[in-house]
């Protein structure tokens, strides 16, 4: 079974703090993704990575950065947390395009971040 784990289920931080959200997958997947999910807005892609040390901006990268030093780990960093970054953050991974299920993504359980 593919397993995608996220370091925290719930997190409360103060405005201005630096926040690290960690994601680990155990199936040697090439691609990893960070989304945020907000009511009425669905999933929005923040950043993705298709290889170690490679990263690309998604639809809403402002205020975020990422790090992929190892294949299994993809970190999302909020340099200076703000209240509008209060959200559910979902990490996902996928094999690589062209595999049996092509682009199927496997999701972690999510981290609900509250910024006060």
Given the rule CB under 8 A, which residues bind other proteins? 4, 30-31, 33, 35, 40-43, 45, 48, 50, 56, 90, 92, 94, 96-98, 101-110
3-state class of 115 per DSSP? Answer: strand
Closer to other proteins by Cβ: residue 16 or 102? 102
Question: Least distance (Å) from other proteins to the CB of residue 48?
Answer: 7
Of the candidates 6, 10, 7, 5, the one whose C-alpha atom is nearest the C-alpha of residue 115 is: 10
Closer to other proteins by Cβ: residue 16 or 66? 66
SS (H, E, C) 29-89: CCEEEEEEEECCCEEEEEEEECCCCCCEECCCCCCEEEEEEECCEEEEEECCCCHHHCEEE
Question: Least distance (Å) from other proteins to the CB of residue 3?
Answer: 11
Closer to other proteins by Cβ: residue 40 or 69? 40
Structure tokens at 26: 């155990």
Question: Least distance (Å) from other proteins to the CB of residue 105?
Answer: 6
What is the Cα 93 distance to its own chain's centre? 9
Closer to other proteins by Cβ: residue 40 or 62? 40
């Amino acid at each position: 079974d593919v397993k995608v784990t996220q370091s925290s289920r719930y997190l409360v931080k103060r405005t201005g703090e630096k926040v690290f959200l960690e994601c680990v997958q155990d199936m040697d997947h090439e691609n990893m993704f960070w989304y945020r999910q907000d009511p009425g807005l669905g999933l929005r892609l923040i950043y993705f990575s298709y290889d170690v040390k490679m990263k690309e901006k998604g639809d809403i990268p402002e205020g975020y950065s990422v790090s992929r030093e190892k294949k299994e780990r993809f970190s999302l960093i909020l340099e200076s947390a703000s209240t509008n970054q209060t959200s559910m953050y979902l990490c996902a991974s996928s094999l690589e395009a062209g595999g049996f299920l092509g682009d199927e993504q496997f999701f972690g359980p999510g981290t609900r971040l509250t910024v006060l």
